[in-house]
């Protein structure tokens, strides 16, 4: 089975195998040695830089669905201006700008599912 995991902000794709079931007297059989068949970083989007200036990025704090966008390309925003709203577990979470800037790119659209730490908005 393949899984995607995030370690220190970097996404990796790993392949794992299911452990052996316990023996007939109910005791767990010794675990087989772990086999890591592949641990590969997920490739960035074409044209994307692997280094991101975190001061110019707004990331999702949690998993959710984009409900509304409150900015568009080229908008000038100030610190704490509302950027977008996420729905997470039937609660609306307001995502505010962490610094002033100009909206360079919006990486999500309404109804998009987002993951924790996913880039939502980039600033110039």
pLDDT, tens digit, for every residue of 66-123? 999 999 999 999 999 999 999 998 899 999 999 899 999 999 999 999 999 999 999 9
Residues 18, 58 within the same domain: no
pTM: 0.58
Residues 40, 68 within the same domain: no
Domain assignment of residue 27, yes or no = no
3-state SS assignment for residue 86: strand
Q: Read off φ and ψ for residue 4, nearest 5 degrees.
A: -110, 130
CB contact at 8 A, 65 and 114: yes
Residues 41, 58 within the same domain: no
Q: Residue 7: is its pLDDT beyond 60?
A: yes
How many other C-beta atoms can be found within 10 angstroms of the C-beta atom of residue 87? Answer: 15
Q: Residue 46: is its pLDDT beyond 90?
A: no
Which domain range does residue 17 map to? 1-22+32-45
């Amino acid at each position: 089975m393949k899984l995607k995991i995030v370690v220190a902000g970097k996404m990796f794709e790993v392949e794992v195998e299911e452990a052996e079931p316990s023996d007939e007297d109910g005791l767990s059989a010794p675990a087989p040695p772990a086999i890591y068949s592949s641990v590969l970083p997920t490739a960035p989007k074409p044209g994307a830089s692997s280094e991101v200036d975190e001061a110019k990025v707004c990331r999702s704090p949690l998993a959710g669905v984009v409900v509304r966008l409150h900015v568009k390309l080229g908008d000038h925003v100030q610190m704490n201006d509302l950027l977008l709203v996420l729905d997470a577990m039937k609660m609306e979470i307001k995502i505010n700008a962490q610094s002033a800037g100009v909206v360079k790119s919006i990486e999500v659209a309404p109804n998009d599912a987002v993951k924790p730490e996913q880039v939502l908005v980039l600033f110039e």
